[in-house]
Amino acid sequence: QKEVEQDPGPLSVPEGAIVSLNCTYSNSAFQYFMWYRQYSRKGPELLMYTYSSGNKEDGRFTAQVDKSSKYISLFIRDSQPSDSATYLCAMRSTSGSRLTFGEGTQLTVNP
Amino acid sequence: EPEVTQTPSHQVTQMGQEVILRCVPISNHLYFYWYRQILGQKVEFLVSFYNNEISEKSEIFDDQFSVERPDGSNFTLKIRSTKLEDSAMYFCASSEAPERPQYFGPGTRLLVL
């Protein structure tokens, strides 16, 4: 079983739609959860960073962590064509420094 | 806004040659990392570095790899004798502390022929 699983998509939505991106994980030691956005052939750009369970909102983005289900989500409201990218979830335990990434979900927002 | 920078952006090398990838982390960050992403695959952790020592490394980071902070601003990854399977995008990242977010550079695309 993979430590982090993420549906690679591709996911295609119309402009203005609400997008839901998800990851599941198997390692209960993960305590820090991140979402990165990666444009083609570029470096991952940090979008959201959360610790343990709960919700965090930043503008059009909301991150949710459900540790009991080992499930994290990223919601994008009022999606824009500029949101078209690959979205990576990443996780880290408290005992180490390495991030473990999902495979990434490729999102296209159509005008 | 401060950012991680990496040079070169692209490097092509012959199998068996040594390559050095360079990174300038964000200036007040003390923790440095290298990751790689083989085309079409997930981002994979290689190594973390703090206080001039490796603090954690993955099984990928074998004796062919080494890291160094040669001065107060640069952080380097050396691959001693490149193999075809080392072809990948290499990302440097840095953070203020291990529990703080890691910020990534734009990457170096390495192609081994």
- What distance in Å separates residue A8's CA from the closest CA in chain B? 10
Instruction: Return the pLDDT at A100.
Output: 97
Closest of A50, A53, A89 to residue A69, by C-alpha: A53
Instruction: Return the pLDDT at A53.
Output: 84
Instruction: Give the other-Cβ count within 10 Å of A16's Cβ.
Output: 11
pLDDT at position B73 over 90: no
Give tens-digit pLDDT for A1-22. 789 999 888 999 999 999 999 9
Contacts of B35 in chain A (CB under 8 A): 99
Distance, in Å, from the CA atom of A62 to the CA atom of B21, rounded to the nearest integer, reads 35
Q: Residues with Cβ < 8 Å from B14, sequence gap 6 or more?
A: B82, B112, B113
Contacts of B43 in chain A (CB under 8 A): 44, 88, 90, 99, 101
**Residue B75 pLDDT class (50, 70, 90 cuts):** very high
Mean pLDDT of chain B: 95
B25 reaches A (C-beta below 8 A): no
Closest of B86, B91, B110 to residue B23, by C-alpha: B91
What's the average model confidence in pLDDT over A25-47?
94
Instruction: Give the other-Cβ count within 10 Å of B98's Cβ.
Output: 19
Give tens-digit pLDDT for B1-45. 789 999 999 999 999 999 999 999 999 999 999 999 999 899 999
Q: Are strands B43-50 and B108-112 parallel, antiparallel or unpaired?
A: unpaired
Percent with pLDDT over 70 in chain B: 100
Q: Using the beta-carbon criterion (under 8 Å), do A41 and B99 form an inter-chain contact?
A: no
| DSSP assignment of B22-45 | EEE--TT--EEEEEEE-TTS-EEE
Give tens-digit pLDDT for A48-79. 999 888 899 999 999 999 999 999 999 999 99
Tokens of B92: 């440097």
